[in-house]
């Protein structure tokens, strides 16, 4: 007979109340039961199915007892049953005892997701047979056992693995958009992100690498999505085929120290190699012109020194191929020469040195070449790669040889362009003419510009109404390396802007509007600039690999000492690089170079004027001024280690200029001064600055208005100033009044 199991016995093993079992059975079977009622096989199945999903049960005592009883009653060989029928309930009990595993983590278990072969390895064969038989009985063949059935034939078939789908993802994508592309719930994506430690909401962006990792969890393969912008479609900047390229003229800029003969050299080239203009032989000045040498053209950019050259580079433009560095044979390397060298190096252009004024007494070209080696420019005659040509612009001597060297250098560079495409180039300079509107001088770098073309330059767009060359003549076309002046733009572009000739005017105007909006948006954001205070965070975030520094000092010895000391601070994460060092105060040229190169300016015993400081603030250039060299080294080293904790901040109160000096016996020198800006206060410290160089730093001994002592003197008033233990005051000196304010750590 089949074993009978009572409700109260089951309730004890499951640790639940009998009335809960009774309620469950009434719900499913519709029969009233008591705690002493016995359970049929199907009723026992219902109880097990429901309550073992809610509770983890270690063992079933009543099953163990019944199983032991069955074992004692029946022989070891199950086939020898003496004609007794094995009931379905017996099989159920055996299976549940041997293979009942309950997962209480979820409401249901999907067995199909498990590998059938692995289940077979873990579960014994007789249990699998019993399980399969029970499943067949439940399907309705309870009293009709199947004949000649191989249990292995009825095992679940191995599910074929679904091939992963492919989706395209850009460099960044919002979680919501990412989920939409995969066709899954955004909440599921957020959960997966949380599991890998990324806390992102549906509206936040994730990068490509994280998206790729999450996509694999949902059986997707990710490909990089290439986003084509309106500008990409409009400008069509495809790379030229080699067979479409032809040789183009080199573009040259002339740089050097003031009074070393830049203008004279350009005039000599112009007079010998440039055709005269139509207006009475006068050549129109458009900031660029072409010279004809040996039936080949050379384009010269007639910029006002290296400032404009660097300003264009600061805007991401590379206008020139070769720089001619003019050095006077009698003067040698001067401060502006060094600046020109550093600007040319930073722009990565070839340098040809024109040693000018060789006709003068005291000219010494060998000394010039020796000085060049100190700045990393080794002449060819000494085994280097720098071409040096002795010239005399005044006597028109060796000018042709200089130009031939330019052409030779150009040949080595293999300068080429494709004239048979829409034009692209750079804006050299621009202006607003009252009668003709915005006028821009442009240099075509690739393609050919035609009259009537639609041109986009920065935030300016328009149709070319007229083109003039350097002689003032109207031209219809301009090919590679040809400078022209154009009319027809909507507004004045900036020097250094890249221009493109395009075909779609509507799309061109849309691109320009988008650029204007982007500029407005960027102005709202705070720009990330290099400063010592934020240096460590920027290094840690990987934003800085090179720390560029410009050094200005009162003497050359200090410049070299600082250069060597700072460059020794380089480590594995960041390289300290002094890109320029010079004697004298910080000037506008230093600010422009720092802005273009993202550099910090370090000054020793120098004080920039108010205009320079204002320019530095406008261009977000940091200037650090010191009196002692090791203070700078310690501060920059501390900044690189994230330990910079300044205790005091200098606040400049005002400046006063010395107009007259008086010698007072027993007191010393008293200066009659005029307050230029701010105010001079009695309790402040003071610097005495002469030609931008600090010659003394101390405290005021006296401050008077007429004969009366004064606590402070404001802008526009005169005062008498005495400095403690310092009498070497001269007319034209500037007193800088300042105080040190404590800064909270």
E strands in 288-423: 288-293, 296-301, 322-328, 350-356, 387-390, 416-417
- On the CB side of 496, CA atoms within 13 Å amount to 13
- The span from the CA of 680 to the CA of 673, in Å, is 10
Dihedral sign computed on CA atoms, order 345, 347, 349, 352: negative
The residues, any chain, with a CB within 8 Å of residue 279's CB and separated by 6 or more, are: 472
- The span from the CA of 643 to the CA of 560, in Å, is 26
pTM for this one? 0.51
| pLDDT for position 139 | 41
- The span from the CA of 160 to the CA of 733, in Å, is 90
| pLDDT for position 488 | 92
Q: For 322, left (φ over 0), alpha (ψ -120 to 50), or beta? A: beta
Cβ atoms of 661 and 729 within 8 Å: the answer is yes
Q: Which residue shows structure tokens 């509107």?
A: 437
* Mean pLDDT of all residues belonging to the chain: 78
**Which class for 155: exposed (0-12), middle (13-18), buried (19 or more C-beta within 10 A)?**
middle
| pLDDT for position 101 | 45
Which of these, 602, 673, 594, lies nearest to 635 by C-alpha position? Answer: 602
Name the packing angle between helices 588-597 and 306-314 (round to 10°).
Answer: 30
Domains belonging to the chain, first-starting first, are 5-154 (no CATH), 165-224 (1.10.10), 249-414 (3.40.50.300), 424-524 (2.40.30.10), 535-645 (3.40.50.10050), 649-742 (2.40.30.10)
The residues, any chain, with a CB within 8 Å of residue 281's CB and separated by 6 or more, are: none
| pLDDT for position 327 | 92
The 3-class SS string of 265-299 reads HHHHHHHHHCCCCCCCCCCCCCCEEEEEECCEEEE
| pLDDT for position 627 | 85
Name the packing angle between helices 588-597 and 335-347 (round to 10°).
Answer: 20
- On the CB side of 195, CA atoms within 13 Å amount to 9
pLDDT in tens, 378-416: 999 888 889 999 999 888 889 999 999 999 999 999 999
- The span from the CA of 587 to the CA of 604, in Å, is 14
- Give average pLDDT by consecutive 10-residue segment, the chain, 745 residues: 69 77 76 74 74 59 53 47 47 43 45 48 49 44 46 52 81 89 90 86 87 90 79 78 91 84 83 55 60 88 60 64 90 84 84 91 89 91 91 89 93 92 89 86 93 92 91 91 92 86 90 85 58 68 75 83 84 82 88 88 89 89 86 82 63 93 87 94 90 90 89 92 91 92 61
Which of these, 591, 598, 594, 603, lies nearest to 631 by C-alpha position? Answer: 603
| pLDDT for position 169 | 87
The residues, any chain, with a CB within 8 Å of residue 734's CB and separated by 6 or more, are: 655, 656, 657, 658, 676, 688, 689, 690
The 3-class SS string of 568-583 reads CCCCCCCEEEEEEEEE
446 token code pair: 């690739």
Which of these, 442, 498, 507, lies nearest to 231 by C-alpha position? Answer: 507
713 SS3 class: strand
């Amino acid at each position: 007979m089949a074993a009978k199991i009572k409700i109260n016995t089951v309730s004890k093993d499951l640790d639940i109340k009998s009335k809960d079992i009774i309620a469950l059975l009434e719900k499913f079977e519709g029969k009233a039961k008591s705690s002493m009622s016995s359970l049929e096989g199907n009723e026992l199945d219902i109880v097990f199915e429901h309550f073992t999903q809610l509770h983890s049960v270690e063992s079933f005592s009543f099953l163990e007892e019944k199983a032991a009883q069955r074992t004692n009653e029946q022989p070891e060989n199950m086939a020898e049953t003496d004609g007794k029928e094995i009931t379905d309930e017996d099989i159920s009990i055996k299976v549940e005892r041997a293979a009942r595993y309950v997962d209480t983590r979820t409401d249901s278990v999907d067995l199909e997701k498990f590998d059938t072969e692995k289940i077979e390895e873990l579960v014994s064969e007789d249990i699998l047979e019993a399980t399969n038989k029970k499943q067949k009985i439940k399907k309705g063949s309870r009293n009709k056992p199947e004949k000649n059935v191989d249990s292995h034939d009825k095992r679940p078939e191995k599910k074929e693995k679904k091939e992963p789908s492919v989706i395209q993802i850009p460099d960044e994508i919002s979680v919501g958009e990412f989920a939409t592309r995969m066709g899954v719930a955004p909440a599921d994506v957020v959960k997966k992100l949380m599991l890998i430690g990324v806390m992102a909401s549906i509206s936040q962006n994730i990068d490509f690498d994280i998206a790729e990792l999450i996509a694999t969890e949902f059986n997707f393969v990710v490909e990089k999505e290439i986003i084509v912008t309106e500008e990409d479609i409009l400008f069509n900047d495809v790379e030229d085929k080699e067979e479409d390229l032809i040789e183009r003229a080199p573009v040259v800029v002339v740089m050097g120290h003031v009074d070393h003969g830049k203008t004279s050299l350009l005039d000599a080239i112009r007079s010998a190699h440039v055709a005269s203009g139509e207006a009475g032989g006068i050549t129109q000045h458009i900031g660029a012109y072409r010279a004809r040498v040996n039936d080949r053209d050379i384009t010269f950019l007639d910029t006002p020194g290296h400032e404009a050259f660097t300003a264009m580079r600061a805007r991401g433009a590379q206008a020139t191929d070769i720089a001619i560095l003019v050095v006077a044979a009698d003067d040698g390397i001067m401060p502006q020469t060094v600046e020109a060298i550093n600007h040319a190096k930073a722009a990565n252009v070839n340098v040809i040195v024109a040693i000018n004024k060789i006709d003068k007494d005291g000219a010494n070209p060998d000394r010039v070449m020796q000085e060049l080696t100190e700045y990393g420019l080794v002449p060819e005659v000494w085994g280097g790669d720098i071409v040096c040509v002795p010239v005399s612009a005044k006597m028109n001597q060796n000018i042709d040889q200089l130009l031939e060297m330019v052409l030779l250098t150009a040949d080595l560079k293999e300068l080429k362009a494709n004239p048979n495409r829409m034009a692209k180039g750079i804006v050299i300079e621009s202006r607003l003419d009252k009668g003709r509107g915005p006028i821009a001088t442009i240099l075509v770098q690739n393609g050919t510009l035609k009259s009537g073309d639609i041109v986009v330059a920065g935030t300016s767009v328009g149709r070319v109404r007229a083109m003039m060359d350097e002689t003032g003549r109207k031209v219809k076309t301009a090919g590679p390396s040809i400078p022209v002046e154009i009319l027809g733009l909507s507004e004045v572009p900036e020097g250094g802007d890249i221009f493109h000739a395009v075909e779609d005017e509507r799309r061109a105007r849309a691109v320009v509007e988008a650029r204007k909006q982007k500029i407005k948006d960027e102005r709202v954001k705070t720009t990330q600039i290099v400063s010592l205070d934020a240096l460590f965070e920027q290094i840690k975030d990987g934003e800085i690999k090179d720390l560029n520094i410009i050094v200005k000092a009162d003497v050359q010895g200090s410049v070299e000492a600082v250069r060597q000391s700072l460059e020794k601070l380089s480590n594995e994460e960041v390289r300290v690089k002094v890109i320029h060092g010079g004697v004298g105060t910080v000037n506008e040229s230093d600010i422009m170079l720092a802005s273009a190169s993202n550099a910090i300016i370090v000054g020793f015993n120098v004080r920039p004027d108010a205009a320079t400081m204002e320019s530095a603030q406008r261009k977000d250039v940091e200037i650090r001024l010191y009196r002692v060299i090791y203070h700078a080294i310690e501060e920059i080293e501390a900044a690189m280690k994230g330990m910079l904790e300044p205790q005091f901040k200098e606040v400049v109160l005002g400046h006063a200029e010395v107009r007259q000096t008086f010698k007072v016996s027993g007191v010393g020198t008293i200066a009659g001064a005029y307050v230029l800006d701010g105010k001079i206060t009695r309790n402040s410290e003071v610097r005495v600055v002469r030609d931008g160089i600090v010659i003394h730093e101390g405290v005021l001994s006296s401050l008077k208005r007429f004969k009366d002592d004064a606590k402070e003197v404001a802008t526009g008033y005169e005062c008498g100033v005495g400095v403690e233990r310092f009498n070497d005051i001269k007319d034209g000196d500037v007193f800088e009044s300042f105080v040190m304010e404590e800064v909270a750590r």
